[in-house]
Amino acid sequence: MAKKDNISSSVIQRLPRYYRFLNELDKEGITHVNSGELARRMRSTASQVRQDFNCFGEFGQQGIGYSVKSLTKEIENILGIKNRYPAILIGAGNIGTAIANHLTFENRCFKLIGIFDNDENKIGSDVADLTVQSITNISEFCKSNYVETAVLCVPKTAAADLAEQLYNLGIKSYWNFSHYDLKLLYPDIVVENVHLSDSLMQLCFRIKNNTK
Amino acid sequence: MAKKDNISSSVIQRLPRYYRFLNELDKEGITHVNSGELARRMRSTASQVRQDFNCFGEFGQQGIGYSVKSLTKEIENILGIKNRYPAILIGAGNIGTAIANHLTFENRCFKLIGIFDNDENKIGSDVADLTVQSITNISEFCKSNYVETAVLCVPKTAAADLAEQLYNLGIKSYWNFSHYDLKLLYPDIVVENVHLSDSLMQLCFRIKNNTK
């Protein structure tokens, strides 16, 4: 019944939010939800919700709504959540430590298998149940462990220095907090950039203009 | 010449990126840039760049391009960067500490004036040149200091407990890392949510489907 080939990128972008709300409903013991209630939580419209779910072949039952569990499972399949892609993280500072904890304890998409830093004070310490390794080990580690994804929690200049090495080690996907534009040099990689300063500037604009 | 009333939200969303790239150019000592070069850095098209800048009345000169400094200044004005809105941060864990440092040392939109936590081990310690205060001080602090924005770096349940207090203290803008949907209860506030897990799920989907 699924029509996955047709799912537009705008629907895909909304799926993580649906997933979060469905998880909440599940925790609250709610087994079925109608498009109106989901729309209210998403601050969307019931027709948008129905249209989104129709895209991947989920149709709510009249009077009962959607099954929370089966909808959750469908979204998990589409997004590939639970794939547990092996990931390494570079930069065990504050943001790196926060992200390492998030990866280890709050997500099922990735499995964090190594943390690296160049700071002698951090190497050997424990972060998110792993021991921080020297950045000089990274090449050997990636050759003896399959690594799908690198999480860059280093300053921009350090990311620039690391990029070629990681790319040559075969790492083709990145969760990038570094502000370094990896994609410019390596167009064949997959990158999800997190630019906290962009989010902050948007907030600034919205305060200035009182944009709700 | 500026036509600010007409700037669409999609242009506004691109402005922080332009701003970052213009800052880079400025650091490289580049005084003028044409739409083609900016488009290359933005992975956009020259005509998109020209169209965006036309929206707010900036026109590059034939053969010279745009002045990096005046374009930067114009974007600063539109976004309200340098407004230095007074902000408090709640939750001095790893993510909170990273964000506090970012706010204090890497941005000019906001001025961090207070950090609060409920953990006795954190209260009294120094983070980003401020001393972490007990969360029980928050009401008094907000009454004696003007606070525009609260940055929530606490778990979802803690955010739910805090929301009413902060709202009643008159705080109407939030940078929200907590996953708690503030906007649902308080539709008149301005919120910029940062959902790291959504970003991670998008990455997961793009790896699974090899979406560059």
pLDDT band at B5 (very low <50, low <70, confident <90, very high): low
* Average confidence score pLDDT of chain A: 91
Indicate whether A1 pLDDT > 80.
no
Q: A187, exposed or middle or buried, with CB in 10 Å at 0-12, 13-18, 19+?
A: exposed
Cβ contact, residue pair B202, A94, below 8 Å: no
Measured distance CA(B138)–CA(B100) in Å, rounded: 17
Q: CB–CB of B165/B137 below 8 Å? A: no
Residues of A in contact with B173 (CB under 8 A): 203, 206-207
Predicted pLDDT of residue A6 = 61
Tell me which of A39 and A42 has the higher pLDDT: A39
Q: CB–CB of B208/A79 below 8 Å? A: yes
Predicted pLDDT of residue B106 = 83
* Residues of chain A above pLDDT 70, percent: 97
Contact with chain B for residue A111, Cβ under 8 A: no
Predicted pLDDT of residue A184 = 85
Cβ contact, residue pair A197, B102, below 8 Å: yes
Contact with chain B for residue A13, Cβ under 8 A: yes
Indicate whether A2 pLDDT > 50.
no
Half-sphere exposure of B144 (CA within 13 A, CB side): 5
Q: Where are the domains of chain A?
A: 4-78, 85-198
Residues of A in contact with B112 (CB under 8 A): none
For the entire predicted model, the pTM comes to 0.87
Distance from CA of A113 to the nearest CA of B (A): 16
What would be the CATH architecture of the domain defined by A85-198?
3-Layer(aba) Sandwich (3.40)
Chain position carrying tokens 């800052």: B23
Distance from CA of A64 to the nearest CA of B (A): 24
Predicted pLDDT of residue A33 = 94
Residues of B in contact with A149 (CB under 8 A): 203, 207
Residues 6+ apart with CB under 8 A from A129: A104
Cβ contact, residue pair A203, B175, below 8 Å: yes
CA distances from A142 to A112, B72, B151, B210 (A): 13, 41, 37, 21
The string of pLDDT tens digits covering residues B78-112 is 999 989 999 999 999 999 999 999 999 888 899 99
Contact with chain A for residue B179, Cβ under 8 A: yes
Quickly list DSSP for B48-83.
HHHHHHHHTT--PBTTTBEEHHHHHHHHHHHHTTT-
Half-sphere exposure of B70 (CA within 13 A, CB side): 13
Cβ contact, residue pair A205, B12, below 8 Å: yes
The string of pLDDT tens digits covering residues A129-174 is 999 999 999 999 999 999 999 999 999 899 999 999 999 999 999 9
What would be the CATH architecture of the domain defined by A4-78?
Orthogonal Bundle (1.10)
Contact with chain A for residue B175, Cβ under 8 A: yes
The string of pLDDT tens digits covering residues A161-208 is 999 999 999 999 999 999 888 988 899 999 999 999 899 999 999 999
Indicate whether B140 pLDDT > 80.
yes
